[in-house]
A and B are shown apart, each in its own frame.
Chain A
C-alpha cells in the first residue's frame, strides 16, 4: 500500500514537473513564432504605408500650395505619376530636427528647416502639417509610430580654395560615398554690389556650365571677385538621371541681415525681417536694405533668373524696433514653379546674401518628419528612390508598434 502511494506521489511529481517544463518550452517556441509574425507584419505595414504616402497626392490634390490642412495625407506630386513627390507638400511638413522660434513682431512660431547660415527655410507652425495630423490622416494614431526622412542622393559640396581675385571654387559631386565623374554642372554666381549708404544693394549674375573630372570635382575660377566681395554660388549637377544641388555664400557680416519667413503658401508671400528682431542681439541697429531675385531650374538643367517686378516687393528695407512701419517687408514669389529666392542685403557695414528654397527640392533640403521612437521593441525600415521636381532623393520610413507585445515574458 505504502509502495503504491509513493509510486503515485513520485509519478505525479515527475509528471507535473515535466508538464511545467514542456509548457515553458512550447511557450517559448510559440512566442518566437508570434514575434516573427508581428515583426514581419510590421515590415509589411511599413512598406505599404511608404507606398501609400509616396503614391498618393492627398486631398485636396494641391494642398501643398495652399494654407489649408489636407483631409487625406499624401506627398505625391499631383501632376505626375510614380514616385514623384511634390516639393511644396514636403515644404509644409513640420521639421522634427530644427529648433522652432517665435517671431516676436507677429507672435507666429516657425518650424525651422534651415541648413546653416544663409540657407533659410522657416514655415509657420499654423500652416505646417504636424505629425499627429499626418498620423491621424494615415490611420496610425495609437497603433504605429513612424519617422520619414527624405534625403538627397547626390551631394554637391562647394569649397572656396582661393578667396582673392580670381575666386576659385571647387565643386565636389558625389553619390552615396561614390564620386560622380563627368557630371554636368550648371551654376549661377551672384555677386553683391555694395552701393554704399542707405541704398538697396544691386547684384550681377553669371550663369555657366562645366563638367566634373574623374574624382567628381570641378574647379571654377570666377574673375573680379576679391576678399571682401559677398556672393552666392548655386550649382546643379546632373548625370545619368541623377540630379543634385549645392550652394555656397560669402557674407561680410552675419549679424545684421534679413531673414525670409514664409507667410502664406497660397499667396506665395514671404516676410523679410530684420535679424535683430529674431536673435535679439541687443540695442537697435541700422536698417537693412535688400534686393531680391528668383532663379529656377529649367528642364534642360540650366539655371535661369526670373525677373521680379517692383510690385512684388523685391526692393525695400527692414528696421529693428517696435512701432515702425518697416519692421518687416512683404515679398511675393512670382511663380509656383520651384526655385530659389535670393536676397542680397546691405546695412551700414555688412552686406551679403541669403537664400531660401521655394519648393523643398530647389536647394536639396532634407526632410525629417514624424516622431522619435521611445524605447521601441522593434523598428523596421524601408526605402524608396524618389524624384522631387527632378531632384533625386531617397525616402526612408522607420516604423514601430505602439501597442506592445503580450508575448514578451
Chain B
C-alpha cells in the first residue's frame, strides 16, 4: 500500500511540475508567431511617399493646406486594408523639448494589442545645408597655401592648360581647407618667399607650395646669372647650371618645413623666367626657359637632406610603370572630399624608391607602388635619429596632361582635414515624421 501511496505522491509532484511549467510556457498570440515586419513596412511607405520629395514638401506646409488631405489619401491608398495607421509630424527644435508634435492624422481610434512605428527625418527644401571644413594648420601651426601663379614664367608638360588656369582651379578646390591661400603672382614674390619674407602677413613656416608649372619651376631673376643671388641659383660648373636653384629650393623646403608639390611629370626639369631667359628656350621652342634636366630633383633632394651641393644627373624617374591605380586610402577619400578623378592613371615619370636614401619616408601613397617605382606619393624628410619632419615633397609622376584634382586629393588625403556638416537640428529646418502601424482585427 505504501508503494501505491508513494506513486500517487510522485504523480502529484509531476502534475505540479507540469502545471508550473505550463504557466511559464505561455503560448504566443497567433500574430506573434508569424509577424509582419511593420517597422520596415512603415519606413518603406514613408520612403515611397517621399520618392519625389512630396512628403518633404507637404510636412512643411501650413496645417490647412490641401496637400495634407492628399497625403492622407495617398497613405490610405498604399497600405493594406487590414492595417491601421497614425502619422505624426514633429517639429525638431533645440531646448529641453527636442520634438514637438505639430500635426497628426489616423484612420483608427486605437491600435489594439500592439503596434510598431518607423521614423523618417525630412529636411526643408528652403534650407541649404553646408559643410564647413577644418582648416589645415588650425591646430598645428602653418596653414598657408602658396599657389605659384607667376605671370613671368612659362609651364611645360601641362599641355592644354596654362599654369594660371591650373592655379585658379587649385584655388577653388583647396582654399576652403587652408587658413590662408596666396597666389604668388610673379617670380619676385617667389623670391620674397625664398628669402623668408611674408607676402601678406601670413605664416611662412609649415606652408604648402604648389608648383603649377608642371615640369618647370619659376625662378626669380635675382637667382639668375648676373644677379644678386646668382650663387644660390646658378652654378657654371654643371652641365645645366640652374640645377643649383633646385638645391636652394630643397634647402628652403627643409628650413621652412614646406610641403613642395609637383603636379605632373619629372619634377624640376626646367627653370623659367621670361625676362631673364628671354632668349633661351627649352629646346622645344618654349622661350623663357632653361633646361635643368634630371639633376634638378637630385639637387632638390640634396638641399632637402642638408647635403652639400654636387651636380648629379642620375635618372631617378622612369617611363614605366604605365597604368597605375589610386591607393585605397586616397580612393576612400574621393567620396569624403567629393573629388572624383579617374581611379586609374598613366604614370611615365614614377620616382624610384632609391630617393628614399635622402632620409625620406613615404607618408602617403597616392597611387599603389609598382615594384621599385612610386607613381605618386607624399614624402616626409626626417633626419636619422630624429622624429621631426623637416620638409615634405609631393610628386605625381603622371603623364601629361595634368588632372589637378589628383593634386588636391593627394594633399587632402595627406593632411586629412575633417568636414563638419551643418547641424540638422536647427529650428525649422527639419521635421520628424513618425508612422505608427497596427494590424486591425484578430488577436
Q: Which residues of A contact B (CB under 8 A)?
A: 3, 7-8, 10-12, 14-15, 18, 22, 25-26, 29, 32-33, 36, 39-40, 42-43, 47, 51, 82-84, 153-154, 174-178, 180-182, 238-243, 378, 380-387, 390, 392, 394
Contact = CB atoms under 8 A, between A and B. Distances in A.
Contacts of A83: 44, 47-48
A42 B11 CA distance: 38
A11 B3 contact: yes
Contacts of A180: 73-74, 77
A381 B82 CA distance: 14
A382 B439 CA distance: 13
A383 B80 CA distance: 10
B22 interface: yes
A42 B34 contact: yes
Contact of B49 (A12, A39, A154, A241): A241
Interface residues of B, number: 48
A383 B77 contact: no
Interface stretch (B25-33, B205-213, B257-265, B296-304): B25-33
B28 A36 contact: yes
Nearest to A182: B70
B49 A242 contact: yes
Contacts of B33: 36, 39-40, 43
B34 A385 contact: no
Interface string B33-54: 1111100110011011111101
A7 B51 contact: no
Given A18-B11, A22-B18, A240-B58, A181 B73 contact: yes
A385 B18 contact: no
B50 A241 contact: yes
Per DSSP, are chain A's interface residues mostly helix, strand or loop, or mixed? mixed
B18 A33 contact: no
Given A36-B28, A240-B74, 16 more contacts: A12-B3, A18-B14, A32-B27, A33-B25, A40-B34, A47-B37, A82-B47, A83-B48, A180-B73, A182-B70, A241-B74, A242-B49, A380-B34, A384-B41, A384-B44, A385-B45
B70 to A, nearest CB: 4
Given A22-B18, A43-B35, A178 B73 contact: yes
30 contacts: A14-B7, A18-B10, A18-B11, A22-B14, A22-B18, A26-B18, A29-B21, A33-B25, A36-B27, A39-B33, A39-B34, A43-B33, A51-B40, A153-B77, A175-B73, A175-B74, A175-B76, A176-B78, A180-B77, A181-B73, A240-B55, A240-B70, A242-B78, A382-B36, A384-B40, A385-B47, A386-B44, A386-B48, A387-B51, A390-B51
A174 B37 contact: no
Given A43-B34, A47-B37, A7 B14 contact: no
Interface in B413-437: none
Per DSSP, are chain B's interface residues mostly helix, strand or loop, or mixed? helix
Contacts of A14: 4, 7-8, 11
Nearest to B47: A82
Nearest to B46: A385
B44 A378 contact: no
A385 B2 contact: no
A32 B25 CA distance: 10
Contact of B7 (A15, A29, A32): A15
A158 to B, nearest CB: 18
Contacts of A33: 25
Contacts of A384: 40-41, 44
Most buried by B among A3, A238, A392: A392
Interface string B1-25: 1111011101100110010011001
Nearest to A15: B7
A271 B252 CA distance: 72
B71 interface: yes
Contacts of B78: 153-154, 175-176, 242, 385, 392, 394
Interface in B98-138: none
A25 B41 CA distance: 39
Contacts of A242: 48-49, 74, 77-78
Given A36-B27, A180-B77, A241 B52 contact: yes
A47 B70 contact: no
B79 interface: yes
B67 interface: yes
A238 B74 CA distance: 10
B50 A3 contact: no
A378 B34 CA distance: 9
Contacts of A26: 18, 21
A382 B35 CA distance: 8
B160 interface: no
B44 A176 contact: no
B47 to A, nearest CB: 5
A33 B50 CA distance: 41
A383 B401 CA distance: 53
Contact of A239 (B36, B45, B73): B73
Contacts of A84: 51
Contacts of B41: 383-385
